Amino acid sequence: MLALQFLSHVVLLGGISMRRNVLIILLAWLIFAGLAPARIAAPAYSTEAGALVQKSLLALDAPAAQMDGDGELAETGKNQVLRQTRSVAALAGTQEPTLSPAASGNAELVYTTYLQNAGWQAEVREGAISGGAASPIEAIQVRLTHLAEAGNISYQTYRQDSGWSGYAKNGEIAGTAGTGEAVEALRFKLTGALAGQYDLYYRVQTERFGWLDWATNGETAGTDGFRYPIEGVEVVLMNKEQAFSGKREQSFVKRTDPVLSYGSYLTASGWQEPVLNPAQSGSPDSSQSLEGLQAKLASQPYPGSVTYRAATSENGWFEWTQDGLEAGLPGTGQNIERIEMQLTDELAAHYDIYYQVHVPGVGWLDWAKNGETAGTQGYDYDISAVQLQVVQKDAPAPGNTAVAFMKYVPKPPPAPVAPPLPAYPTGPDWTVQEGIFRTNAGTNYYVGSSYIIVSIAYQRVWAYIGSQQIVNAPVITGRPSMPTPRGLFAIQPYKESPSVLIGEDYESPVQYWIPFLGNAYGLHDASWQTQGFGGDLYLYLGSHGCVNTPYYAVQTLYNTYSVGTPVVVY
């Protein structure tokens, strides 16, 4: 009471004085009273009575701190006000219940973070933010000062490629400074008697999610599975008797694969109960068709939506819709014949959406993905069921993807037939134009419009009347030691059927004999040639110079061409 009278007297004497004088007076009062200030939480989380002390201090030190519209302490100057609040807590009657003698030292917490490309930051006291500059945190260092209770602070970090680190304690480094591997989650806890006296509250700022809610006493703060680095950390140390008013609903977010919920409207049954991927929706085993489709994400690890549209044979494509809204015209009797679906935003960067449809009379088509068309067009076929699947990027498709969409394309009318161009006989290395036989090697014979051509190189016989081909057949000419003579010849008067070929050492009956050089060389059938005709048979099965010809071909030649018909052998 004496101290209060002294303080009152000094204030009355000085009136409204400078902030420095007020602080000196407060310090003098503390020394005079011989009291140790009880520990108070960070101002943003103190009790209502504590808020009154903050307001009085803000009035004294306005440039160092600002109050927002609701009377809450703003970020600027929070640490300074926190220190002042602790020093004068007894004046406002807001000190905590008396601590045990061992705890009268009022433990304080300081910490620093290692920012990627920026290094270690200056230490901050509890209730202040370390980091927060949109740079990933790679490591953290925490220490307690003014310890009176037995115990320590322990902390660990989580990195997606390395998992949880071991617990560091009081001043040790948790994480890997300078390696480029960012921290994605962390935990803090007290040990020993400290854990019975104090609570730790902490929260983190992460890429994409921003500031998450508060975790406490060993709980996890941050994310898992997103590769979102922590960019800021804030820690508060509070006596257990103090009430904590910070939001604590979601301090940790773990990625889970997205789940699609979807349902279909059938012609005779209406809306079906929604199913989850990859189940089938609709009626693939009945005659009912889809008139409407709904789809939404039942769970998702990243921001984004599922969008989709449907088309009917009567109206074509409808507008895109999303997130559980209706696609198509359910209840109108207009059946869906094709659909398209896709994911949006960050969800689309990590996942592909696959979908397939069942068409009565055709069956399940293959899988389409990411905006491709699934179904049919132009066949007057309807969809009776759908099946959806969400797959991580670069993962295999859930099935075949070759034929997800069938479109009927009418055959074009036949092209007008152009009048035939004048044609003339040609062979592999010869032509006959205007009655003249010419070879690529320069041979020229006048053969008129009716003629027979024998090629030794190609082992073949051709026969024409005008531009009409009469015979085109393989042959066997004379063996290399008894070659067939080359040149322009003509069918001789010795043409005969049947006939007998007589040589020095043979007599061979044939059905058709067509001589072209005297009565010694000609074309005839050869029943003894049992291995066929053409190719290189003449090299070892060749004749004595005649042209062995298949029966059907020599028969046609004999019955078509008369004596005097030109015969070219080249």
User: Confidence band (pLDDT; 50, 70, 90) for 411?
Assistant: confident
- Look at residue 46 and tell me whether its pLDDT is greater than 90: no
Q: Give tens-digit pLDDT for 227-283.
A: 899 999 999 999 999 899 999 999 999 888 899 999 999 999 999 999 998 999 998
Strands of 122-258 (E only): list them: 124-125, 129-131, 137-145, 151-159, 163-164, 168-169, 173-175, 185-192, 198-206, 210-211, 215-216, 221-224, 230-239, 252-254
pLDDT tens for 124-156 read: 999 999 998 889 999 999 999 887 668 899 999
Residues ≥6 apart with Cβ < 8 Å to 433: 424
- Is the model's pLDDT at 66 over the cut of 50? no
d(Cα 139, Cα 203) in Å, to the nearest integer?
Answer: 15
Q: What is the mean pLDDT of the chain?
A: 82
Q: Secondary structure of 328-388 in the HEC alphabet?
A: ECCCCCCCEEEEEEEECHHHHHHEEEEEEEEECCCEECCCEECCCCEEEECCCCCCCEEEE
Q: Which residue numbers are catalytic?
A: 524, 546
Name the band, by pLDDT with cuts 50, 70 and 90, for residue 421. Answer: low
Residue 94 has pLDDT above 70, yes or no: no
- Residue 5 tokens read as 């009278």
Residue 177 and residue 120 in contact, taking contact as beta carbons nearer than 8 Å: yes
Give the burial class of 127: count Cβ atoms within 10 A of its Cβ; 0-12 exposed, 13-18 middle, 19 or more buried: buried
Measure the CA–CA gap between 530 and 500, rounded to whole angstroms: 19
Q: Cβ(485)–Cβ(491) under 8 Å?
A: no
pLDDT (average), residues 181-189: 96
On the CB side of 556, how many CA atoms lie within 13 Å of its CA? 15
pTM: 0.44
| Angstrom distance (rounded) from CA 244 to CA 520 | 125
Burial state string for 19-36 with b = 16 or more CB within 10 A and e = fewer than 16? eeebbebbeebbeeeeee
With a CB cutoff of 8 Å and minimum separation 6, the contacts of 63 are: 77
Q: Which range, 31-35, 45-49, 298-302, 469-473, has the best average confidence (pLDDT)? A: 469-473
Q: Is the pLDDT of residue 95 over 50?
A: no
Domains for the chain: give ranges and CATH numbers. 108-254 (no CATH), 259-407 (no CATH), 426-569 (2.40.440.10)
What's the per-residue H, E or C state across 481-502? CCCCCCEEEECCCCCECCEEEE
Q: How far apart are CA 220 and CA 156, in angstroms?
A: 10
Asked if residue 174 has pLDDT above 60, the reply is yes
The number of CA neighbours under 13 Å toward the Cβ of 185 is: 26
Percent of the chain with pLDDT over 90: 66
Model confidence band, residue 88 (pLDDT cutoffs 50, 70, 90): very low
List the one residue out of 234, 236, 235, 208 whose CA is nearest residue 223: 208
Cis? peptide before 498, omega within 30° of 0: yes
- Angle, in degrees to the nearest 10, between helices 78-87 and 19-33: 40
Cβ neighbourhood burial of 236 (10 Å; 0-12, 13-18, 19+): buried
CA distance 266 to 282: 7
d(CA 445, CA 487): 9
Question: Rounded to 5 degrees, what are φ and ψ at 339?
Answer: -140, 160
Q: In angstroms, what CA-CA distances link 181 with 139, 221, 386, 450?
A: 9, 18, 43, 91
Over residues 187-239, the pLDDT tens digits come to: 999 999 889 989 999 999 998 889 999 999 999 999 998 889 999 999 999 99
Rounded distance, CA 172 to CA 154, Å? Answer: 9
> What is the bridge-based pairing of β-strands 405-407 and 374-377?
parallel
Give the residue with greater pLDDT, 202 vs 34: 202
Distances (CA, A) of 201 to 109, 126, 137, 220, 235: 12, 10, 19, 11, 6
Q: State the greatest distance between any 2 C-alpha atoms of the chain, in Å, as a whole number.
A: 161
Residue 555: phi and psi, rounded to 5, are -60, -45
CA distance 99 to 105: 9
Q: What is the CA radius of gyration of the chain?
A: 50
**Number of Cβ atoms within 10 Å of the Cβ of 207:** 16
Residue 68 predicted with pLDDT over 70: no
